[in-house]
Structure formats: structure tokens, C-alpha cells
Structure 1
Amino acid sequence: MTVIDANRMHEIEARYPEYFHRSFRQRFGGLMIVIATLLYGLYAVWFFDFPKLFAEAHWERVGIYLSQWVSYDVQPEFRIQNDGTIAVRYPRFSPLGDNPHPDWVVDNPDGSITIAVSGAGLAVTVSKSETIVTAHGVSVPVDVSSGAPKVVGPVPAWMTVYDDNVLADLGFAGDVSISVNRVKIRKRFLGWANFVFDTQSSFFDKPVGEVISLIVSGPRIKPDQSNLSLAFDDIWNNSEWQHGDVWTKLFQTIVMAFLGTLLGALAAFPLAFMAARNITPNRLLNQILKRFFDFLRSVDMLIWALFLTRAFGPGPLAGSGAIFLTETGTLGKLYSEGLENIDNKPREGIQSTGAQTVLVHRYGIMPQIVPVIVSQTLYQWESNVRGATIIGAVGAGGIGLKLWEAMRTNANWENVAYMVILILIVVFLFDAASNALRHRLMGSRTH
């Protein structure tokens, strides 16, 4: 065991003061950061009044919207005529087509109609005098023979009685609205209705095997057009899902992102050389260009899109222009900072040979700056695919505008899900392509 005397101890303290004589900031800096973060969190909770927001939020809508992303509903309406017969009507644009005859609507011998809402144990029987709703293990009769519908017996928790109608909430399966002379049912199904062929298509409601047989070797449905061409036209021009318009707008978004990023990179590249202090020794020009980059970056891409849609009208030109302006500022700043951080020795060595300025830049600067340019440009290109979707919502074209239109109706959430999935796939593919290009161009792929 080694014993250190007082002199030796003082010598060690003098040699390593950072360990033995630490400042207040060094000793308590970490603790102060933790305390400040906690205090800021508490302030944010108070400022935004999170307890009230969570208490008043409509959490039930989350489930409703998510269910509508992956399902569709059919809304038959049963009207009780004066002679006691029951007429069945469907909405004009029903997913079942113009002449629906679903097997879950059964005509009974006594003149009533039974509707299987969603599997065993859930059913609605409509007759001229009463409607019987069977759900959650109980059958609840609703008398409709008098002036207002009246529940016979106790009212279950899933049923609500109003002055002129009774509403039965059957959860994901749908709901039933009962009035004196009308019963309206909303029956929900999993999946996306008519995703391939809409109700106007000649291939609608045909089994897959029959469709393939018609396309491959069947007789022509239209004498002047092959079945394969007809099937493609029906899919592309699907009136419910609008595949042609969605894919066209998606391609517009990709082109907007590519064109805006490319033009921004081409504009930022020469300006960055003039903004870099070690390349262009003109402080006034350096500062003017850097402030110019700051101005272009400080105005958000969405704001540029709003300006340009007023100038050029809605469309992809405004979107490409917004990306171009934003990327000129962003890439100009990144390129100029990369130039200012290069090693000047290769450049000075080439200058000493008497080479022209272009050659000095080509061989003394570009080999050092190319990895930065490639990496940052590809990243911004990938990011702008997402950004182009957002600015499309304000009229700058692309799939963003289509997505916003579907969301505004508050009824086409399955179309929203379709477009969101397409956007996610495109972003994933561009991310993979960007990474592959970076590795290939920068020579960092591992074998």
C-alpha cells in the first residue's frame, strides 16, 4: 500500500487542477440541466393546459377514423309503405352497385326482412309494426306502430332513445337508426370496396378466375377494344379510387421534389464558392450571400408555396419553385460551410505550380467537397419528397392536394389510407435509393 504525503498530494493537485479544483458549473452543471428540463416540462404542461386538453379530447374519434381507414360501410334503408310492405333502398353510389341483392338481407315469409349485421348474434328484423334489434346477447323490440318509436322493455346501454328515432350502436359492426316509417342501417365490412373495378366496370363483382379468363381468352366485351385494354382502362379510371389521378399526382410530387432539389443545387453550388471566406476573400460579398441564404431558408417552404400559387396559380410549377428557393438557401449554406472547412494544403500546393483558378478548384477543392455535396444533396432530395406532399395541400400540386381533398370530406378515410401508404412506400424507396447512391458515389460500401 502506497502512502502519499502532504507535499506529494499538493503536487498532484497542482498538476491536475481540473480534477481537484472543479468549478461550480463542472460540479453541478449536469444536475442543473436536469432540473431546468423538469421545470420547463412543468411549465409546458401548465402553459398548454395538457390536463384539460386530454380530458376534453374526443378519443372515440380515433377508433372511428382508424376503422374507416381499413373498412367500408353499406347503408340500406328500409321504408315501411302505407300498405304494410317494406321497400329497400340503397344510396346512389352504393359499393354494391346499382342493383344490389346482398345475401345478408333476407325476405321472410311473413313480409318482414332480416338483416345479418355482422356475423352470428347480431341481426335486425324489420316489420311494419316493430323492429327487433338483436345484439350483445339480447333482443330489443322497438314499436313503430304509433306516432314515435318506443323501446319495449328496458333500454340497453348501447341504445339511445330520441324524440323521433332510436339509435342502436353496434360498435364496429355499424349502427341502426329506427323511426316510425324508416329503418336505416349502416353495416361495416373490413377491406377496401371496389379497389380494382368500380360498380360501372364490366368486370365488377366477377370472381377473379372469371376476370382472368375473360382477359386471357374470353370473347371481347367491347368489339373495338381488347379485354386486357378494357380492364386496364377500368382500373385506371376507377371512379371511386381514382387510381389514374392518384398515381399521376404522386408522379408530380416526385418530379417536383427532383426538379426543385436539382435546380436548388445548381444555383447553390457557384454561390457557395463566392460565399466561402477562404475561397472568395471579399467579406462584403461573403456576408451578402450568407444573409441571402439565411433569408431563403428562414421563409418556410410552405410559405414560399403560398406566395408562388398566388403568382403562378395552383399546380406543380409553384411547388417546384418553392422547393427550389428553399433548397438554394439550405444547400448554399451547407456547401459554403463545407468549403470553409476544407484542408488548404492541397489547394496551396496546386496554386504553387501556377495552375489556373479553375484547375485549383477542380483538383484542390472538389475531391474534398464532393462527399459533402453528394451526401447533403441526396438527403435533401429524399426529404423534399415528403415536403412536396405537404406543400401540395396548399395548392402546389401533387398528391398532397389530393390527400387534403379526401380528408376535407371527412368520409373518404379509406382513400386517405391508400394515399398515405403510397407516400410511405415512395419515401421508403427514395430513402433506400439515396443511401445506395451515397455509398456508391462516396466509395463507402462495405464488402
Structure 2
Amino acid sequence: MTVIDANRMHEIETRYPEYFHRSFRQRFGGLMVLIATLLYSLYAVWFFDLPKLFAEAHWERVGIYLSQWVSYDVQPEFRIEGDGSIDIRYPRFSPLGDNPHPDWLVNNADGSITVSISGTSRSVTVSRSETIVTAHGVSVPVDVSSGAPKVIGPVPGWMTVYDDNVLADLGFAGNVSISVDRVKIRKRFIGWANFIFDTQSSFFDKPVGEVVSLIVSGPRIKPDQSNLSLAFDDIWNNSEWQHGDVWTKLFQTIVMAFLGTLLGALTAFPLAFLAARNITPNRLLNQILKRFFDFLRSVDMLIWALFLTRAFGPGPLAGSGAIFLTETGTLGKLYSEGLENIDNKPREGIKSTGAQTVLVHRYGIMPQIVPVFVSQTLYQWESNVRGATIIGAVGAGGIGLKLWEAMRTNANWENVAYMVILILIVVFIFDTASNALRHRLMGTKTH
């Protein structure tokens, strides 16, 4: 065991003071950061009143909205007429078309009608005097022969009784509303109804094999138009899903992002040479241009879109202009900083030969900055594809406006899901292509 005397210890302390004489910040910095984080978290909880927010939040709506993204419902209504007959009616724009005969609706011999909500475990039988709801292993009859519906027997937890109505909640499968003269049923299906052909199409409700046969070799449905052309028109002009309008708006979004980014890059490129201190030795001009870039990018793209929609009206022009202004500021800053960080030796070497300024820039600067500039521009283009969706919601055109219109109805969540998936696919494709081009230009490998 080695013993260190006082002199040796003093020598070590003198040589390495950072280990033996640590400052207050070095000794307690981590602890202070932890305490500050905890205090800020407590302040955030108080400022946003998170306990009350979580207590009063409508969490049940999350499940409802998510289910509507991947499903649709059919709402038959059974009206009990004065003569005892039962009249079946569907909403005007029912997914089943104008003359539905679903196999889950059975007319019984005694005049009653049985509707299968979810197989045999959940069903509703409607008759003149009572409605029987079967769910969760029990059958609950509801008497509708008197002035108000009355549940016969104990009322289960999934059934709610009101003065003139009885509501049975059958979970995701749907629900049943019972009154003395009518029974409304909401039956839910997984999937997207009529996604290919709407109820007005000549191909509606036909099996896939029959549709393919008609398109390939079947007789013409319309004498003046081939079945292939008719099928394409029916898909493109689908009144429920509006594929043609959605894809047109999606293409507008892509064009908005491309045009705005391209114009921003073309404008920012020459201005960046004037803003770079090592390229243009004019401090006043440098500062004016850099503050100009700061102004353009400090105003958010969404704010620019609001200004331009007021000036030019709603449409893709306002969206492209908003992206152009924002990208001029962003790319101008990135380009000028890239120019200020170049290696000056190639430039000085070419300049020493007496070459003109244009040639000095072409051969002394451009080879260094082109890969970086293109990489930055591609990244901004990819980002602007997403940004163009957001600004579309304020009237700047594109699929963002279409998405906002579908969300405002609070009923077309399956259309919202469709457009969100399209946006995700487009963003993924552009992200992959942009990354591949950037890696190729920078000379690095993708993993």
C-alpha cells in the first residue's frame, strides 16, 4: 500500500485543481438542474390545470372517433303504423343504396322483423307491441303498446330509460333507440363503404368477378362508352369519397410545395452571395440582407398564408407564395452561412490566376457548396410537403382545405382517415427520395 505524504498531496492538488477545488456549479449543477426541472413541471401542472383537464376530458370520444375512422354504420328505422304493419326506412344517402335488402334483416312469419346487430349474440326483434333487445347473454323486452316504452323486468346497465325513449348501447356494434311508434337502429360495419363504386354506379354492389368480367369482355353498359372508361369515371367521380377531387387537391399540395421551395431557392441563392461576409465585403449590405432573411422566416408560413389569401383569395397561389416567402428567408440564411464556412484556399488559388469573379465563384466556391445547398433544399422541400397541408386549412388550397372541410362536419371521419393515409404515403415517399438524393450528393451510404 502506497502512502502519500502532505507535500505530495499538495503537489497533486496544485497540478489538478479542477478535481480537488471544484466550483459550486460543478458540484451542485446537476442537482440544481433536477430541482429546476421538478419546479417547472409543478408550475406547468398548475398553469395548465392538468388535474381538472384530465378529469373533465371526454375520453370516450377518442374511441368513438377512432372507430369511425375504420368503420361505417347503417341506420334503418322501423315505423310502427296504425294498422300494425312495420315500415322500414333508410336515410336518404344510405350506404346500401336506394333499394336495400340486407341479409342481416329477416322478416319473420308472425310479422315481426329481426335485425342481427352482431351475429346471434346481439340482435333486435321489432314487433307491433314490443321490441326485444338481445345482448350480453340476456334478452330484454320493451313494451311499446302503451303511451311510453316500458322495460319489462330489471333494466340492465347497458340500457338507459328516458321519459319517451329507451336507449340500448351495444358497444362498437351499434345502438338501438326505442319509442312507441318507431325503432331506430345503428349497425356498425368494419371497413369503408362504397370506396370503389358509389350507390349511383352501374357497378355498385356487384361481385368483384362480375365487375372484372364486365370490364374485360362484357357487353357495354352504355353504348357510347366502354365499360373500362365507365368504371374509371365512376371511381374518379365517386360522390361519397370524391377520389378525383381528393387526388387533384393532393397534387396541388405537392405542386405548391415544389413551386414555393424552387422559387425560394432561386431567390435565396444570389442573395446569399451578397449576404456572406467573405464573398461580399460590405458589412451594411450583409446586415441588411441577413435581417431581411430573419424577417421572412420569423413570420410563420401559416401567417404568410393568411395574408396572401386575403390579398389574392383562397387557392394554391396563396399557398405557393407563403412557402416562397418562408423559404427565401430560411434558405437565404442557410446558404449564406454555408458560404461563410467554405474553405477559401481553392477560391484564392483560382483568383491568383487573374480569373474573373464569375469563374472564381464557379470553380472555387460552387464545387464546395452545391452538395450542401441541394441537400438543404431537398430537406426543405420534403418539410414543405407537410407544411403545405397545414396552410391549406386556412384557405391556401390543396388537400389541407379538403381535410379541414371533412373534419368540420364531425361525421366524415372515414374520409379524414383516407386523406391522412394519402398524406402519410406522400410524405414517406418524398422523405425516402429526399434522403436517397441527399446521401448520394453527399457521398454517404444509406443504412
Separation in 2, partners of 1:56, 1:247: 39
User: In the TM superposition, what is the alpha-carbon distance from 1:343 to its structure 2 partner?
Assistant: 2.1
- Sort the Cα spacing of 1:446 and 1:208 in 2 relative to 1 into closer, same or farther, 3 A: closer
Separation in 1, partners of 2:79, 2:122: 21
Instruction: Tell me how many residue pairs correspond in the alignment.
Output: 447
Alignment of 1:415-434 (within 5 A): 415-434=415-434
String of CA shifts for 1:124-158, please: whole Å, max 9, x gaps.
01111111111111111111111111111111111
- Sort the Cα spacing of 1:206 and 1:370 in 2 relative to 1 into closer, same or farther, 3 A: same
> Which residue is 1:390 aligned to?
390
> Which residue is 1:236 aligned to?
236
* Structure 1 vs Structure 2 CA RMSD: 1.3
- The answer to whether structure 1 residue 362 and structure 2 residue 362 are counterparts is yes
Unaligned 5+ residue runs, structure 2?
Answer: none
Task: Give the secondary structure class of the aligned counterpart of 1:117.
Answer: strand
- Sort the Cα spacing of 1:348 and 1:2 in 2 relative to 1 into closer, same or farther, 3 A: farther
User: In the TM superposition, what is the alpha-carbon distance from 1:324 to its structure 2 partner?
Assistant: 0.4
String of CA shifts for 1:354-399, please: whole Å, max 9, x gaps.
2211122222222222232122111111000000000000110000
Separation in 2, partners of 1:163, 1:414: 34
Separation in 2, partners of 1:425, 1:31: 45
- The answer to whether structure 1 residue 258 and structure 2 residue 258 are counterparts is yes
Separation in 1, partners of 2:169, 2:345: 77
Q: Retained in 1: the 8 A contact 2:372–2:442?
A: no
Separation in 1, partners of 2:278, 2:3: 56
Task: Give the secondary structure class of the aligned counterpart of 1:128.
Answer: coil
User: Comparing 126-135 with 361-370, which one deviates more in the overlay?
Assistant: 361-370
User: In the TM superposition, what is the alpha-carbon distance from 1:33 to its structure 2 partner?
Assistant: 1.5
Separation in 2, partners of 1:446, 1:158: 55
Task: Give the secondary structure class of the aligned counterpart of 2:87.
Answer: strand
- Sort the Cα spacing of 1:26 and 1:342 in 2 relative to 1 into closer, same or farther, 3 A: farther
> Which residue is 1:379 aligned to?
379
String of CA shifts for 1:28-77, please: whole Å, max 9, x gaps.
22222222112111111110011110000000000000000000000000
User: Comparing 342-351 with 132-141, which one deviates more in the overlay?
Assistant: 342-351
User: In the TM superposition, what is the alpha-carbon distance from 1:164 to its structure 2 partner?
Assistant: 1.2
User: In the TM superposition, what is the alpha-carbon distance from 1:10 to its structure 2 partner?
Assistant: 2.9
Q: Retained in 1: the 8 A contact 2:261–2:381?
A: yes
> Which residue is 1:296 aligned to?
296
User: In the TM superposition, what is the alpha-carbon distance from 1:409 to its structure 2 partner?
Assistant: 0.5
User: Comparing 264-273 with 357-366, which one deviates more in the overlay?
Assistant: 357-366
String of CA shifts for 1:315-368, please: whole Å, max 9, x gaps.
100000000000111111111111112222222222222221112222222222
Separation in 2, partners of 1:33, 1:348: 48
Separation in 1, partners of 2:151, 2:299: 61
User: Comparing 335-344 with 118-127, which one deviates more in the overlay?
Assistant: 335-344
Separation in 1, partners of 2:31, 2:357: 53
String of CA shifts for 1:295-322, please: whole Å, max 9, x gaps.
1111110010011011111110000000
User: Comparing 423-432 with 348-357, which one deviates more in the overlay?
Assistant: 348-357
Task: Give the secondary structure class of the aligned counterpart of 1:212.
Answer: helix
User: In the TM superposition, what is the alpha-carbon distance from 1:442 to its structure 2 partner?
Assistant: 2.1
Separation in 2, partners of 1:7, 1:367: 61
String of CA shifts for 1:142-187, please: whole Å, max 9, x gaps.
1111111111111111111111111111000100011110100000
Task: Give the secondary structure class of the aligned counterpart of 2:246.
Answer: helix
User: In the TM superposition, what is the alpha-carbon distance from 1:403 to its structure 2 partner?
Assistant: 0.4
Separation in 1, partners of 2:271, 2:22: 47
String of CA shifts for 1:4-45, please: whole Å, max 9, x gaps.
443333333333332232221122222222221121111111
User: In the TM superposition, what is the alpha-carbon distance from 1:3 to its structure 2 partner?
Assistant: 4.3
Q: Retained in 1: the 8 A contact 2:375–2:441?
A: no
- Sort the Cα spacing of 1:35 and 1:241 in 2 relative to 1 into closer, same or farther, 3 A: same
Q: Retained in 1: the 8 A contact 2:86–2:128?
A: yes
Separation in 2, partners of 1:237, 1:160: 43
- Sort the Cα spacing of 1:172 and 1:324 in 2 relative to 1 into closer, same or farther, 3 A: same
TM-score (norm 1): 0.98
Separation in 1, partners of 2:230, 2:111: 42
- Sort the Cα spacing of 1:67 and 1:144 in 2 relative to 1 into closer, same or farther, 3 A: same
User: In the TM superposition, what is the alpha-carbon distance from 1:120 to its structure 2 partner?
Assistant: 1.9
- Sort the Cα spacing of 1:371 and 1:29 in 2 relative to 1 into closer, same or farther, 3 A: farther
Separation in 1, partners of 2:377, 2:27: 42
String of CA shifts for 1:78-118, please: whole Å, max 9, x gaps.
00011000000001100000000001111111111110011
User: In the TM superposition, what is the alpha-carbon distance from 1:443 to its structure 2 partner?
Assistant: 2.0
User: In the TM superposition, what is the alpha-carbon distance from 1:446 to its structure 2 partner?
Assistant: 6.2
Separation in 2, partners of 1:329, 1:251: 25
TM-score (norm 2): 0.98
Task: Give the secondary structure class of the aligned counterpart of 1:172.
Answer: helix
User: In the TM superposition, what is the alpha-carbon distance from 1:415 to its structure 2 partner?
Assistant: 0.4
Q: Retained in 1: the 8 A contact 2:302–2:322?
A: yes
Separation in 2, partners of 1:19, 1:286: 45
Unaligned 5+ residue runs, structure 1?
Answer: none
Task: Give the secondary structure class of the aligned counterpart of 1:177.
Answer: strand
Please list every run of at least 4 consecutive aligned residues from structure 1 whose deviation after the TM superposition is greater than 6 angstroms. none
Task: Give the secondary structure class of the aligned counterpart of 1:72.
Answer: strand
Separation in 1, partners of 2:213, 2:297: 57
> Which residue is 2:126 aligned to?
126
Task: Give the secondary structure class of the aligned counterpart of 1:359.
Answer: helix
User: In the TM superposition, what is the alpha-carbon distance from 1:276 to its structure 2 partner?
Assistant: 1.2
- Sort the Cα spacing of 1:165 and 1:398 in 2 relative to 1 into closer, same or farther, 3 A: same
Percent of matched pairs sharing the same residue: 92
- Sort the Cα spacing of 1:342 and 1:31 in 2 relative to 1 into closer, same or farther, 3 A: farther
User: In the TM superposition, what is the alpha-carbon distance from 1:2 to its structure 2 partner?
Assistant: 4.6
> Which residue is 2:166 aligned to?
166
- Sort the Cα spacing of 1:3 and 1:369 in 2 relative to 1 into closer, same or farther, 3 A: farther
Separation in 2, partners of 1:437, 1:58: 45
Separation in 1, partners of 2:164, 2:84: 20
Q: Retained in 1: the 8 A contact 2:436–2:446?
A: no
Task: Give the secondary structure class of the aligned counterpart of 2:142.
Answer: strand
User: Comparing 241-250 with 346-355, which one deviates more in the overlay?
Assistant: 346-355
Q: Retained in 1: the 8 A contact 2:300–2:326?
A: yes
Task: Give the secondary structure class of the aligned counterpart of 2:141.
Answer: strand
Task: Give the secondary structure class of the aligned counterpart of 2:118.
Answer: coil
Separation in 1, partners of 2:266, 2:255: 16
User: Comparing 94-103 with 340-349, which one deviates more in the overlay?
Assistant: 340-349
Separation in 2, partners of 1:192, 1:30: 54
Task: Give the secondary structure class of the aligned counterpart of 1:154.
Answer: coil
User: In the TM superposition, what is the alpha-carbon distance from 1:270 to its structure 2 partner?
Assistant: 0.9
Task: Give the secondary structure class of the aligned counterpart of 1:163.
Answer: coil
